[in-house]
């Protein structure tokens, strides 16, 4: 049925009025539709830009310099090796929220699918190496802080368990075969070079804990680790965290290191390690710089021995320096992080063993930069 807009038929002027009204509404809608389309295009553009800015493992792909900066690993190939080494068990991980474990139910699997496993590992290594805040990393990877905290706790536990398996205390045969010439010439029975290192921690509200963790050496509340390296510079032993007040002797005695030694082994250390009697019980020997005692000065033999040990021991300091390039260990560690600090520190130590050798066994140690 048709009607003329200005006719005087059955519908008359009423039809003209309705058509005019419809046309007016359409004219009003056209700009809104156009604006809506523009907004949709802008939203899509922003979504694409967001995807481009979202961090993923592509940021370090085939870029060894970026890989070292963001993960502490020497190359992207090493990162891929580490991921492939962990991937099978990572795919079956039980995720953790704080101290309560949450099994990978359908709900949890849905949550984790927003960040692929390889990106989870990358994010965790970025946290270790660069020391970014949780909120910062969450923004970069476009996940919630709670999700990243869950990833971090879970991956640290996995890294700790798996890296520990491939970093056992080396056999005497391995030590001998990798020993640099400088050690073979002067201290051929050296099994391990040891030193302690400390990390600042937040002061506890407990007066007892304040006292236990206060380090007279650092004049701050700390946790303390015993670190041992092989003559070739590889980290071969890392203790759990001890309160900063604990003596070097007590940590050495109770950390389990002595149980790994064999009769005839030598341990090289600084003067603070008064452990000669502990080693003698195991038919082992301690090499430390000589004490001057009541003498006004060192003998020439003592001077040469002190210099020789210092030149060889410097590599334990260099090894610990490598570990502390993981900036999560910088500053004052909050109390909330202390339940994980042993695992975090040990993981950082074992990750440095994936780097290039600290010492060239065919060169004099003093010539290695």
Within 13 Å, how many C-alpha atoms sit on residue 328's CB side? 28
d(CA 102, CA 92): 12
Q: Looking at the DSSP assignment, which residues form a beta bridge with residue 1?
A: none
- The pLDDT value given to residue 265: 97
List the single range of 110-119, 237-246, 263-272, 328-337 with lowest mean pLDDT.
110-119
332 or 22: which carries more pLDDT confidence? Answer: 332
Out of 165, 190, 221, a domain closes at 165
Q: How far is 216 from 133, CA to CA, in rounded Å?
A: 30
Q: Which comes out higher in pLDDT, residue 41 or 164?
A: 164
| pLDDT of 40 strictly over 90 | no
- Are residues 217 and 312 both part of a single domain? yes
Domains of the chain: total = 3
Average pLDDT, the chain: 84
- Co-location of 1 and 125 in the same domain: no
Please state which of the ranges 186-200, 214-228, 294-308 shows the lowest mean pLDDT: 294-308
Same domain, 189 and 322: yes
| For range 323-347, the mean pLDDT | 97
Amino acid 35: pLDDT: 72
- For residue 108, the model assigns a pLDDT of 47
pLDDT in tens, 92-138: 988 866 554 444 443 444 344 479 999 999 999 999 999 999 999 99
Q: Using one digit for the tens of pLDDT, what is the confidence trace for 231-251?
A: 999 999 999 999 999 999 999
**What pLDDT digit, counting tens, does each position of 1-15 carry?**
444 444 444 545 555
Position 229 pLDDT exceeds 70: yes
Q: Based on the domain organization, do 49 and 123 belong to the same domain?
A: no
Positive or negative: CA dihedral 139, 141, 144, 150: negative
Strand partners, 215: 220
Q: Is 269 found in the same domain as 147?
A: no
Percent of the residues in the chain that have a pLDDT greater than 90, as a whole number = 64
Out of 165, 199, 231, a domain closes at 165
Report the alpha-carbon distance of residue 40 to residue 265 in Å, rounded.
Answer: 73
Nearest CA to 81 out of 359, 351, 360 is that of: 351
- CB of 223 within 8 A of CB of 341? yes
Report yes or no: 98 and 110 within 8 Å, Cβ to Cβ: no
SS3 of residue 109 by DSSP? helix
318 and 259 housed in the same domain: yes
Structure letter (DSSP) for residue 269: -
pLDDT digits 0-9 by tens, 173-196: 999 999 988 888 888 999 999 999
Q: Which of the 8 DSSP states describes residue 333? A: B
Dihedral in degrees, nearest 10, Cα atoms 311, 313, 317, 323: 130
Q: What are phi and psi of 340, to 5 degrees?
A: -105, -5
Of residues 315 and 310, which shows the higher confidence score? 315
- Stretch (H or E) spanning 130: helix 117-130
- Is the pLDDT at 71 greater than 80? The verdict is yes
Angle between the N-to-C axes of helices 338-352 and 117-130, in degrees from 0 to 180, rounded to the nearest 10: 100
Residue 358, SS3 per DSSP: coil
- Tokens representing 160 are 């700790």
Q: Same structural domain for residues 177 and 231?
A: yes
pLDDT at 44: 63
Kindly state whether residues 113 and 225 are assigned to the same domain.
Answer: no
CB-count burial class (<10 Å; 0-12, 13-18, 19+) for 295:
exposed
Q: What is the pLDDT of residue 78?
A: 98
Look at residue 254 and tell me whether its pLDDT is greater than 90: yes
The reply to whether 10 and 110 lie within a common domain is: no
Residue that is last in its domain, among 53, 78, 96: 53
Q: Is 214 helix (H, G, I), strand (E, B) or coil?
A: strand
pLDDT grade for 301, boundaries at 50, 70 and 90? low
Strand partners, 286: 267
**The pLDDT of residue 366 is above 50:** no
Same domain, 193 and 247: yes
Domain extent for 159? 57-165
Closest CA to 96 of 120, 126, 80: 120
Mean pLDDT of all residues in 132-159 = 96
Tell me the average pLDDT across 195-201: 97
Region 139-168: mean pLDDT is: 96
- Give pLDDT, residue 361: 53
Spatial neighbors of 101 by CB under 8 A, at least 6 apart, are: 94, 95
- pLDDT at 228 (0 to 100): 97
Q: What is the end-to-end Cα distance of the chain in Å, rounded?
A: 96
Strands 190-200 and 266-268: parallel
**Greatest CA span in the chain, whole angstroms?**
131
Same domain, 349 and 208: yes
279 and 180: one domain? yes
pLDDT of the residue at 107:
42
């Amino acid at each position: 049925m048709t009607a003329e807009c200005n006719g005087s038929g059955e519908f008359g002027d009423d039809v003209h009025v309705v058509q005019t009204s419809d046309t007016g509404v359409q004219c009003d809608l056209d700009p809104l539709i156009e604006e809506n389309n523009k907004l949709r295009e802008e939203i899509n553009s922003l979504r694409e830009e967001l995807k481009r800015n979202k961090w993923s493992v592509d940021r370090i792909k085939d870029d060894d310099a970026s890989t070292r900066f963001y993960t502490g690993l020497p190359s992207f190939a090493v990162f891929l090796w580490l991921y492939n080494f962990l991937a099978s068990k990572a795919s079956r991980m039980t995720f953790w929220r704080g101290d309560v474990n949450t099994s990978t139910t359908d709900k949890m699997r849905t949550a984790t699918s927003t960040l692929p496993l390889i990106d989870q590992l990358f994010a965790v290594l970025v946290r270790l190496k660069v020391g970014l805040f949780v909120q910062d990393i969450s923004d970069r990877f476009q996940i919630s802080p709670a999700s990243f905290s869950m990833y971090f706790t879970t991956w640290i536990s996995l890294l700790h368990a798996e890296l520990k398996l491939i970093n056992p205390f080396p056999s005497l045969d391995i030590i001998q075969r990798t020993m640099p010439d400088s050690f073979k010439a002067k201290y051929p029975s050296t099994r391990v070079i040891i030193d302690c290192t400390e990390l600042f921690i937040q002061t506890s509200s407990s007066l007892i804990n304040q006292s236990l963790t206060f380090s007279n050496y650092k004049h701050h509340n700390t946790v303390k680790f015993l670190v041992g390296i092989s003559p070739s510079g590889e980290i071969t032993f890392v203790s759990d965290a001890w309160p900063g007040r604990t003596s070097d002797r007590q940590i050495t005695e109770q950390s389990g290191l002595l149980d790994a030694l064999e009769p005839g082994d030598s341990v090289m250390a600084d003067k603070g390690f008064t452990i000669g009697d502990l080693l003698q019980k195991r038919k082992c020997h301690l090499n430390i710089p000589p004490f001057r005692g009541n003498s006004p000065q060192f003998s020439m033999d003592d001077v040469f021995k002190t210099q020789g040990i210092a030149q060889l021991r410097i590599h334990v300091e260099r090894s610990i320096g490598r570990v502390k390039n993981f900036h999560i260990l910088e500053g004052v560690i909050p109390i909330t992080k202390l339940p994980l600090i042993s695992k975090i520190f040990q993981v950082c130590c074992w990750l440095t063993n994936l780097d290039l050798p600290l010492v060239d066994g065919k060169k004099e140690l003093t010539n290695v930069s």
